[in-house]
Amino acid sequence: MDFLDKLVLPQSLDHSALLHYLATLILFLFVPFLSIVLGGSILSLYYKSKGKRDEKSAKFSEEIIKSATFTKGAGVGLGILPLLALILVYAQILHNLKLVTLSFFVVALVLITIGLIFIYTYRYSSTFSSFFTSVSKEKLSGYEELQSNISKIYGKSGRWGVIFLLIGTYFFVGGLNLASNPTDWDASGVLYLLSSFTTLIKWLHFLSISLTLSGAFVLFIYFFWEGGKKIDDEEYGEFVKKSGLTVTLLFALFQPIFLLLNINFLAPVALSTSVFLYAFLSLLLLFWVFHLLYGMLKKSNVKYVGMIFMLLIVSSLALIYSDQAGFRNVTVKQAMTLGTEYDASMASLKGVSSVAQISGEEIYKGRCSACHRFDVKLVGPPYKETLPKYNGDVEKVAAFVLNPVKKNPGYPPMPNQGLKPAEARAIAKYILEEVKKY
């Protein structure tokens, strides 16, 4: 989006790395909050529909939405502002790529904002609805008209809120998915969302996380937070316990499947040790949750609800970090390009040439020769064994030099040499030319 490009500042490689970490931190705030609000709203509407025949369900519906929406300011502080900040961060990272990711994010921001307004309206109208049912007609003038208006708001606001949040999160997930899959970077508009199977899988994964977290959050609020809520009705307490455990376990069972599918659909360039490590950590924590849930269901207690909720939060954060690690891998070349522009702009401000004096041979002798030779194994493998797979692509070699990852189990990982993009290109060009002699 052109107006966002005007807000972008030149960035070095260090700035790019910082932006990626900032995006991860923003997602750490935004995703769990939005998950609980969306999942809690869906559960509240489900139990509201059952509440027409069951008083326990009606009461449970009201208490779920009150807990899931936290406070009045949470929707702005944890929902709208983080998403706005994420748009600005992605605008920096993806500058000049002309992706529709930012357009998806802006649409998501609008839809999620509208959805949150409806959901918070639903929350407070539920309170008023309960109030009017407890007041006799004789004590309040205009009772019937007020009750009718409140009932209409209560009935429609929740449904519209969930609809807007579902569509908004689909655009949001589609934007994240597009940014992490360079093979789709030429995609355009809503057609991409409608035709992208990977976006659908990621969105269904997000929904399963939302409902799992919401079920665990309900148990956490009722039976752990500040000693748990005081429940005078033992039958109602058993109803809450059974409902929370069932929802948490049911939707948690889908998560390993979606997680493995998402890993399988990642672009090869996105894969790295960090991606697999944090995805495995997320999966490991989920199996720990299964073990605890099984123990609670078997013994019909809520002993581990606090631990389960914390494990699910950490599992979600590990998954976010895994996805962002893949996104960093995908945008290495983009960071290098922006870094080169930054070096050139800084050099222009200082009145000096930015790259003319860089010698690939000097960098090789000063930085690389201690661990690498062209035809002899030292600390690292000989270049004549590793460079042919790059097919003379200077950009790919330079990208690896700037962001080295362990690929050969027979050698130690290569440390980052702290080179600038222009220096990485110079050394890549030099070794690709020299290796032809061997």
At how many degrees (to 10) do helices 197-223 and 13-50 cross?
70
Q: Which of 47, 68, 59 is nearest to 219 (CA)?
A: 68
- What ranges in 224-357 are assigned the alpha helix state H? 234-252, 255-265, 273-299, 305-330, 332-350
Q: What is the pLDDT along the chain (438 residues), one digit of tens a residue?
A: 555 666 677 777 778 889 999 999 999 999 999 999 999 999 999 998 887 778 889 889 989 999 999 988 899 999 999 999 999 999 999 988 888 899 999 999 999 999 999 999 998 876 655 544 554 444 555 545 545 555 566 668 899 999 999 999 999 999 999 999 988 888 777 888 888 899 999 999 999 999 999 999 999 999 998 777 777 788 898 899 999 999 999 999 999 999 999 999 998 888 888 999 999 999 999 999 999 998 888 887 888 999 999 999 999 999 999 999 999 988 888 887 787 777 667 666 665 444 445 678 888 877 788 788 888 887 788 888 888 888 888 888 888 888 887 777 777 778 787 787 878 888 888 888 888 887
Q: Indicate the DSSP class of residue 226.
A: G
Q: How many residues does the chain have?
A: 438
pLDDT, position 131: 46
Question: What distance in Å separates the CA atoms of residue 57 and residue 63, rounded to the nearest whole number?
Answer: 10
CATH 2.60.120.10 fits 359-437, yes or no: no
Q: How far apart are CA 145 and CA 9, in angstroms?
A: 56
Whole-angstrom Cα distance, residue 133 to residue 220?
A: 29
Residue 345 identity? S
What CA–CA distance (Å, rounded) separates 105 from 126?
A: 31
In 3D space, the residue among 71, 331, 383, 314 whose CA is nearest the CA of residue 180 turns out to be 331
Quote the pLDDT of residue 128: 52
Task: Compute the distance between CA of residue 37 and CA of residue 127 in angstroms, rounded to an integer.
Answer: 17
Q: Which position has the token pair 């900032």?
A: 22
Give me the pLDDT at residue 136, please: 46
Q: What is the pLDDT of residue 371?
A: 81
Q: Which two tokens stand for residue 18?
A: 């910082």
Instruction: Specify the pLDDT at position 375.
Output: 87
Domain ranges of the chain: 2-334, 359-437
Nearest to 206 by CA among 42, 68, 85, 39: 39
Using CA atoms, how far apart are residues 51 and 74, in angstroms rounded to an integer? 27
Crossing angle of helices 234-252 and 197-223, rounded to 10°: 150
SS in 3 state form for 335-381? HHHHHHHHHHHHHHHHCCCCCCCCCHHHHHHHHHCCCCCCCCCCCCC
- One DSSP character per residue, 13-63 reads HHHHHHHHHHHHHHHHHHHHHHHHHHHHHHHHHHHHHHTTT-HHHHHHHHH
User: Which residues have CB under 8 Å from 110's CB, separation 6+?
Assistant: 168
CA distance 166 to 151: 23
What are the Cα distances from residue 110, in Å, to 84, 101, 143, 157?
A: 10, 15, 36, 17
Contact 8, 88 (CB under 8 A): no
Strand ranges in 177-227 using DSSP code E only, listed in sequence order: none
* Burial letters 179-190, b for 16+ CB under 10 A, else e: bbbbebeebeee
